Amino acid sequence: MPRSPDPRRLLPDGSYVTPSTGAYDDAHFEVTLRDVAVHPIGYRRDDTQPLPSNFNEIKAFLGGRRDDSATSESDVVGRPLHLLLGTESLNQKSKKNHAFNSAALFDPFLIDPKPDVYYGSNASDIHSQVRADLGDLIRPSKKATNSWAPNFFIEAKGPDGTLKVLDRQIMYDGAFGARAMFALQNYCRTGEDLIFDRKAYTMSVSINGAGDVAIFATHVEPSFIPGQKEEYFTTKVKTYDATSDMEDFKKALHAFRRARKFAAEQREILIAHANAMANALNTPTRAGAQYVDN
């Protein structure tokens, strides 16, 4: 009988990585991500960190007007993540602790990402032709009930969780979101017509065991790596200490919700663009039709 192909990948140090290896605490995980142009947080190219072109816009948006009466000190005790999430917007669909099943689009040796929480849109918000054409690029799971085109992610770690693992989760989640936004933005475009505006349309938030709330933006740039079309860069926008006092918690809470709002607005704009392109193609099915999982 013919021998099955070896599923392992040989790394430069002589060790192997397998599909079951890629745990976030494994240094090979980050190496594999770099191989597919997903760069670590704060990555520098030629001594310069590639920032999203809308970095200042994002920072200003996070600092927009806030509602100081939204939270009382007694509410904060024991449930900070619950308070950060708050009441979900009706036009957003969130999922908690649900594994994606499209990691192979980056590399078959990577584990599937499993964000603690992620936000996307309902399938019915996206034109059926767009869903069919982009498939796993915007669909994190085969289940029709899951949110599509997610671009806002939350990762939390308790006191025993390592910051390195948290950072890797954020860069991985952010790459999935940025890839989905890039696919929507460039729906019906190929080759030299692809848009690389270097804007971040994907936001992520990490919450560590010390109570720090960090907000990140992920954007896409054209790749200088052979065989790669685009590269993914994640930038820390700001960190908030949510535990020192009530005022700092309110700042973290406000920035978190503003980041979620920013991501939702960008997602809606890009979905509307892709839907308009699909409608222009005179496809027989219109956006808003009921999604049926085959």
pLDDT tens per residue, range 28-87: 788 888 888 899 898 988 888 999 999 999 999 998 875 554 444 333 334 556 666 665
Q: Compute the distance between CA of residue 39 and CA of residue 29 in angstroms, rounded to an integer.
A: 12
Q: Tell me what pLDDT residue 191 has.
A: 86
Over residues 208-228, the pLDDT tens digits come to 878 889 999 999 999 887 777
Q: What rounded mean pLDDT belongs to the chain?
A: 80
Q: Tell me what pLDDT residue 246 has.
A: 84
Q: Tell me what pLDDT residue 289 has.
A: 44
Q: Tell me what pLDDT residue 82 has.
A: 60
Phi-psi region of 288 (alpha: psi -120 to 50; beta: other; left: phi over 0): left
Q: Tell me what pLDDT residue 228 has.
A: 79
Q: Which residues pair with 110 in a beta bridge?
A: 22
- Cβ(98)–Cβ(141) under 8 Å? yes
- Cβ(105)–Cβ(138) under 8 Å? no
Q: Tell me what pLDDT residue 15 has.
A: 44
Look up residue 36 and give its two tokens: 């597919």
- Helical (H) or strand (E) element with 160: none
Q: Tell me what pLDDT residue 290 has.
A: 43
Q: Compute the distance between CA of residue 148 and CA of residue 112 in angstroms, rounded to an integer.
A: 16
Residue ranges of the domains in the chain?
A: 21-280
Q: Tell me what pLDDT residue 182 has.
A: 98
How many CB atoms within 10 Å of residue 279? Answer: 14
Eight-state DSSP code of residue 111: P
Residue with tokens 């099955």: 4
Regions of the chain where pLDDT drops below 70: 1-23, 25-26, 66-98, 102-105, 108, 144-145, 158-161, 282-294
